[in-house]
Structure 1
Amino acid sequence: MNTPHPDADTPRDLVGIGVGPSNLSLAALAHPLAEIDAVFYEQRPRFDWHPGLLLDGARIQVPFLADLVTLADPTSPWTFLNYLKTHHRLYPFYFAERFHIQRAEYDAYCRWVADQLPGLHFRHQVDSVRWNPERDVFEVDYTQLDTAGEAEALGRTHTRNVVIGIGTTPHIPDPLRPLADAPGVPVLHADDYLTHRDTLLTAGHITVVGSGQSGAEVFLDLLRHRPTGHERLHWIGRTEAFAPMEYSKLGLEHFTPDYTRYFHALPENVRDRLLAGQWQLHKGIDADTLAAIHDELYRRTLHGGWPDTVLTPGVTVRTAGRISTTQIELHLEHTQQNTRSRLTTDAVILATGHREHTLDRILAGLDPYIRRDNSERPRIDAHFRLVLDPSITATGCNVHVQNAERHTHGVGAPDLGLAAWRSATILNALTEKETYPLPTRTAFTTFGLEQPQPSPRVPTARQAPTLTPLVDRR
């Protein structure tokens, strides 16, 4: 639904760039706030959440309470439970006793919200964000796309605040990047798996690269669709084991506002070191998925013999090359053994994760105003605002980011369970009041000897973020 702005010369309060779960959460929580005039632009034709990985039975790894709004406002009309009630499915869900819902159901729930919220403009590609010092507003330029994805019209919106929630992009390792775009042997990212599954299943030998959750789910799905004794599947990954995700109760407290505040207050070099060692908090595999894979493999041994599969962790792909129109060769290295080998395969599925979108293209016009850390990454304050030159922030205008702040806010940045809290934090800053009261404590763990506490008051929109000395780079 598109709502025209009543006065094109009047700046909006908020322009959201991207409509993924993060900004959809923000739009849902902003919807009842009469004082917030907001619009959101998304280049895709509709809401889609990793459609190529909506495998039958695959579940999201957070409880259903981690929907778009509940952990900030359980009375919102946009809760998952209200979605079930609206679709007359509340009792079936009650008896299903499922705390973790299927990924396809979460996608359908988000689309239900997106289809009803005003101010969401799909097929609108944001091209740039600039600062207009004469009007003290941001200028957001966009291209309206037709059904074929071609430019149809250009537009510009003025706004006092911008929230960037453009999500992540599929990561393809450098050794395989030339092959991914070449015709012939299918080499594709797991994000496109379902779209090409029928073609992949005709391949004689299939290799899955990546030892995280998506790699495990793709391998399991292939296993279930390949005949016993003729699986011809090879699953490799860089990690030292096909390891389960950290899912202990206290371990999960790394995905709380308490830990986010603790992490943000640490020095930059400490944050970077921590992130490198926390892969199992977010890159491990759900224990049920590992169990299902083992069950499938074990079932194939009941009448003797072993399945035609190879599962090898601790392996990296050094280089790769096409050896014919139907086959490629992967050059592998085992990090622990310090050995190398070659693997010939007919198809490759890259379950190699995602990377945060670089903000450089959209924010190129703001580059002179952005304060950066020692690694030239944007500095982001506790309220998810880019640290900009005071000539901008002193006017009450800010740029917030969602799911682009892992380097400043930790492993919870992309976590669905923190989306509502982060959106509420942003809206509290925009409205200059505690529009959504947030808890002061969320974890039993005290992560430091001096635990950072929430600010006793909401920062006003015209209060510039506190600038730490450049040598601190926090």
Structure 2
Amino acid sequence: MTESPYDFIAIGVGPCNLGLACLTAPLPGVRSLFLERKPAFSWHPGMLLDGTTLQNPFLADLVSMADPTSPFSYLNYCKQQGRLYTYYIRENWYLDRQEFDRYCRWAASRLDNLRCGHEVRAIHHDAQTGLYHVAGQTADGASFGYQARKLVIGIGGVPRFPDGCTVHDQAQLVHSSGYLAARARLQAGRSITVIGSGQSGAEVYHDLLQASERHGYTLNWVTRAPRFFQMEDAKLTLELITPEYGDYFYDLDSATKAEVLDDQRSIYNGINQSLIERLYALLDERRHRDAPPTHLLTCMALDGCRRAPDGRGWELDFHHTQLGRRYRHRVDAVVFATGYRYQVPAFVDGIRDRIRWNGAGQYVPSRRWAVDHLNQDIYVQNVGLQSHGLTNPDLGLACHRNSRLLAELTGHDHYPSEPRTAFQEFVPGEDSGFVALEREAVGS
């Protein structure tokens, strides 16, 4: 550890920390380092399907919502690629997933504060110096060690499987995160079932449906939800992903937050309208051909998943959430589009006593995403749905979050946020004409 201490070290580089790196890069006098275990930046490589798009407009890139003049903006990427007029004429408001990945890899290649192929394995805090010591190993086996005054932990989630799947079976099952690598193997079977009705489930089902006639397999799409939700994107609904709403949500009590998040499921876990329309058109076209069967099933909750007795395929147990009936389903292959869960990384063990935890072993973030007891040293990305609401995972709010993080990390507001971002008032203001009453006076 011969280098001078960094102002902060960020661990894990997905889009959130990549955006933080881009916003930090031009700041004079700020020493930062971003460490990523993978040998190069990649973003959900198992789901980079042809024709799939982001659910956020292109302005929700790595930097523009905090600094539209940044050289790391998507529009500057187009300019540097000689494609600015092409993009203008194409009028592509929603980027393809593959295009977003190319853009992110371009941005990563231009950063001097990013080091890929660096796996962090241990962190400890030196009480005398107040510094954090970050140690690990590079992709070629060499050891490294750095020091920093502050940390940003931005590790992504790991695939989530339903409770009915055993740990042993999970190693053999296909999650949507690994779909592309497993696609050929899946399509070699006679039947495939996709479980999960969010955007990823819809993309996998659409991709498999397009190829079902060529390969001849039966295809099922199953969800425990009462319907296949379309993502809500009305203008006033989208104000629920503004900084003002995020601050309002943070102050709610835990029970109310849980109720609100359940009510908002179709906002952050719905399917975009264009994909639903393509799916419906394809389903209608197939009716006029001798196509293999396909079934879309709602209200079907998975209770169990195991290898079939003969070792060929899987047996799935379901119950219908409205009828109360139980069903068994035999299928050759299953794809679980059931999202991700956060797994606290092992390197946190060395600083565990410096972090706030709840009873479930999860971080307890402050309003500005600090998790250390003094709210000044250790910050987290990619967590906080339960504490900060749907503003936390939304790419459109990542720039705002990074601008607030940088203010905390550096002590200076380099990218001031707009004072007003929503027309709605989530709490009546003093000039609204609504006078707050004492709790005991309400209803009297």
Answer whether TM exceeds 0.5 for this pair. yes
In the alignment, what sits opposite 1:438?
417
> For residues 410 and 354 of structure 2, what CA distance do their matches in structure 1 show?
24
What is the DSSP-based 3-state SS (H/G/I as helix, E as strand, rest coil) of the residue aligned with 1:220?
helix
Letter of the aligned partner of 1:155 in structure 2? Answer: F
Matches within 5 A, 1:141-160: 141-146=135-140, 152-160=141-149
1:253-275 CA-to-partner distances (Å, cap 9, x unmatched) read: 11111111111122233223322
Matching of residue 195 in structure 1 with residue 189 in structure 2: no
- The answer to whether the Cα contact below 8 Å between 2:65 and 2:399 also exists between their aligned partners in 1 is yes
How far is the alpha carbon of 1:252 from its aligned partner? Answer: 1.1
Equivalent residue for 1:291?
A: 277
**AA of the residue aligned to 1:200:** L
Contact 1:230/1:308 (8 A) holds in 2: no
Give the match's secondary structure for 2:235: coil
Q: Cα distance, 1:355 vs. partner?
A: 1.5
Distance 1:16 1:229, change over 3 A: closer
C-alpha contact 1:243 1:285 (8 A) present in aligned 2: yes
Question: Over residues 229-288 of structure 1, what are the superposed CA-to-partner deviations in whole Å (9 max), with x where a residue is unaligned?
Answer: 944101101111111111111111111111111111222332233223321111111111
The question of 1:403 aligning with 2:403 is answered no
- The aligned counterpart of 1:169 is 158
CA contact (8 A) 2:224 2:298 kept: yes
Contact 1:328–1:344 (Cα < 8 Å) also in 2: yes
Structure 2: how far apart are the matches of 1:99 and 1:372? 40
Q: How does 1:23-42 map to 2 (within 5 A)?
A: 23-42=17-36
The corresponding residue for 2:442 is none
- Matched residue, 1:317: 302
The residue type paired with residue 151 of structure 2 is: V
Identity %: 37
- Pairing 1:72–2:66 present: yes
- Corresponding residue number in structure 1 for 2:436: none
Q: What is residue 149 of structure 1 aligned with on the other side?
A: none
1:425 aligns with 2:410: no
Instruction: Tell me the distance in 2 between the aligned counterparts of 1:357 and 1:121.
Output: 23
Name the counterpart of 1:362.
347
Unaligned runs of 5+ in 1: 1-6, 147-151, 452-474
Contact 1:229 1:308 (8 Å CA) reproduced: no
Contact 1:228-1:307 within 8 A present in 2 as well: no
Distance of aligned partners of 1:75 and 1:229 in 2 relative to their CA distance in 1, 3 Å threshold: closer
Choose which of 370, 384, 391 in structure 2 pairs with 1:385. 370
Q: CA–CA distance in 1 between the matches of 2:295 and 2:171?
A: 26
Moved more, 307-316 or 46-55: 307-316
Cα RMSD for the two superposed structures: 1.9
Which sits farther off after the overlay, 276-285 or 64-73? 276-285
Offset of residue 175 of structure 1:
2.1
CA distance in 1, matches of 2:238, 2:21: 27
Q: Which residue of 1 aligns with 2:101?
A: 107
- Match for residue 272 of structure 1? 258
How far residue 373 of structure 1 moved from its aligned partner, in angstroms, is: 4.2
Partner of 1:349: 335
Amino acid at match of 1:322: R
> Structure 1 pair 29/176, CA: closer, same or farther in 2 (3 Å)?
same
> How many Å separate the matches in 2 of 1:358 and 1:308?
42
Matched residue pairs, number?
428
Specify the code of the residue in structure 1 equivalent to 2:123. Answer: V
Match for residue 222 of structure 2 among 206, 216, 236 = 236
Amino acid at match of 2:170: A
- Given that 2:46 and 2:181 are in contact with CA atoms closer than 8 Å, whether structure 1 keeps it comes out as yes
C-alpha distance in 1, partners of 2:247/2:121? 32
Aligned counterparts, 1:326-345, within 5 A: 326-345=312-331
- 2:230 maps to amino acid: P
Secondary structure at the counterpart of residue 132 of structure 2: strand
- Give the match's secondary structure for 1:333: strand
| TM-score, normalised via structure 2 length | 0.92
Which SS does the other structure have where 1:226 is aligned? helix
TM-score, length of structure 1 as denominator length: 0.86
Q: Which moved more, 1:370-379 or 1:271-280?
A: 370-379
Confirm whether residue 180 of structure 1 aligns to residue 170 of structure 2.
yes
Deviation at 1:319, TM superposition (A): 1.1
Residues 322-368 of structure 1: CA deviation (Å, up to 9, x unaligned): 22232211111111110111111111111111122325x23222222
Q: Where in structure 2 are there 5+ consecutive unaligned residues?
A: 431-444
Deviation at 1:173, TM superposition (A): 1.9
Which consecutive aligned stretches of 4+ in structure 1 deviate over 6 angstroms post-superposition? none
Deviations 1:124-173 (A, max 9, x none): 11123222111111111222223xxxxx1222211011111112221122
Amino acid at match of 2:161: I
Write the distance in 2 (CA, Å) between the matches of 1:61 and 1:9: 42
Within the alignment, does 1:59 sit opposite 2:53 as a pair?
A: yes
Task: List per-residue Cα deviations over 1:442-461 (Å, max 9, x = no partner).
Answer: 1112112359xxxxxxxxxx
Are 2:53 and 2:94, in contact at CA under 8 Å, matched by a contact in 1? yes
The 2-side partners of 1:78 and 1:433 are apart by 21
Partner SS, residue 142 of structure 1? strand
TM-superposed deviation, 1:111: 0.2
- The CA distance in 2 between the partners of 1:228 and 1:46, in whole Å, is 35
Q: Which amino acid aligns with 2:317?
A: H
Amino acid in structure 2 at the alignment position of 1:179: D
Q: Could you tell me how far 1:202 is from its partner in structure 2?
A: 1.3
| Per-residue deviation, 1:55 | 0.7
Per-residue deviation at 1:209? 0.7
SS in 2 for 1:49: coil
Specify the SS of the correspondent of 1:208: strand
CA separation in 2, counterparts of 1:45 and 1:96?
33
Q: Distance in 1 between matches of 2:291 and 2:263?
A: 35
2:2 maps to which of 2, 5, 8: 8
